[in-house]
Structure 1
């Protein structure tokens, strides 16, 4: 049976949507505008479906970038995905943002088995959200917040060639650029296309999330403060 999966990627400043049918890409659209998610996500979805000759009722599932990433962006994406899944009574899929970034790179790397893949997302100052994967997507290091220092991931780089990429990688490059086992890639941004490719596999395994209780994987707690009343 044909399965149409809509994928949403809102973990960064890029607002990205993609449509896959049985794993094959039908169309994609994205905006690289700061704070565009809340005002443009629904429009991007509607235009993508219209441009590919489909309607909301054709969807078989919705996939969301699970995080880590922007707290606001992840909340907006999750709300949109949950709303669609609830209204259409279809499954919700959640794909790790870091795993999807690694998937993008492995798919275009010559001899991918020679490397471990380390996506890094900027978490401000000298901190990043990072993970390690093999070329087959196996997790070597679970997503974790890292404070970047010259000896960060030193043990892994002693035994393996590592490729670093993502919005936080440039900060690490300044510390370990001379290391023979450290390679860096630029302009690797989160994409709904990679989310959709991994979502097709997750759909086959029926790795669905509870629409009512799903929350994005923020990795770190978000702290808010209440403004003091003025005297």
Structure 2
């Protein structure tokens, strides 16, 4: 059971969704039990997402089945994947009158690394994603016990322009942004102590950060759900605006 619940609190139930990478990933935390669906399906998120949702919640009706909030990977990541996720979360939250909880994809990926034993307490962890256009997304995180603390980011930059803080510290680096490893500045490349390029975030690893947000009351209404692209020039249309001509 995730550590963010204590015995004296009613356990919150979350549906978590992440489609920001090649993985289509869903997780359901209900009454302390975790179930998940996780598939690597590049460019097929929209085809698989609701089928996977029916596997986790075959009777639909999220609120009636005890779900308290929908947690989602807000980005950065694949533009199409982020749109698919945000649209689905908006629809689910509107239909069930539920709040949403956004979690950075890069933070979730850092939690995946922690859960899989790739990083440990005190480590500095650089979570990366390939931005597909000669750039990478990154966040610098610190592992503090069972938590991931954000130090810097999320940011996007060409590999040669990545300037990551705490220059004297060795890094554990995870994620598809490592495809650009040879193009990183020499001083940054020299700090890489361990590298895991094949790691992808899983929806279950949105839950620790979501639990902390829930405890603090940091939730969104459905109409406030939006992707985080990091790039300033990308805009997102909410449901009432979608389908309208520009």
TM-score (normalised: structure 2):
0.79
Which residue is equivalent to 1:229? none
Give secondary structure in 1 for the equivalent of 2:213.
helix
Per the alignment, residue 222 of structure 1 pairs with 234
Distance apart, 1:200 and its partner CA: 2.2
The 5 A counterparts of 1:75-94 are 75-94=83-102
Contact 1:115 1:160 in 2 (8 A): no
Structure 1 consecutive aligned stretches of length 4 or more whose deviation exceeds 4 Å: 173-178
Task: State the shift of 1:189 in Å.
Answer: 0.4
**How many corresponding residue pairs?**
218
Aligned to 2:37: 29
Question: Do the aligned partners of 2:27 and 2:203 also contact (CA within 8 Å) in 1?
Answer: yes
Change (3 A) 1:45 1:165: same
C-alpha separation in 2, matches of 1:63 and 1:70: 18
Alpha-carbon deviations, 1:34-78, whole Å to 9, x = none?
A: 22211221111111123xx88522211100101001111111111
Alignment of 1:41-120 (within 5 A): 41-50=49-58, 56=62, 57-58=64-65, 59-109=67-117, 112-120=120-128
Q: Is 1:208 matched with 2:219?
A: yes
Q: What CA distance in whole angstroms lies between the structure 2 residues aligned with 1:60 and 1:178?
A: 43
CA contact (8 A) 2:124 2:172 kept: yes
- Per-residue deviation, 1:131: 0.8
1:25–1:161 distance in 2 versus 1, CA, 3 Å: farther
Distance 2:98 2:136 in 1: 34
Q: Which residue of the other structure, out of 188, 196, 201, is the alignment partner of 1:185? A: 196
Q: Deviations over 1:117-156 (max 9, x none)?
A: 111110124310101011032221120012112x744763
CA drift of 1:88 comes to: 0.9
TM-score by length of 1: 0.84
In 2, distance between residues paired with 1:98 and 1:154?
Answer: 15
The yes-or-no answer on 1:161 pairing with 2:173 is no
3-state DSSP of counterpart to 2:75: coil
> How many angstroms apart in 1 are the aligned matches of 2:12 and 2:19?
23
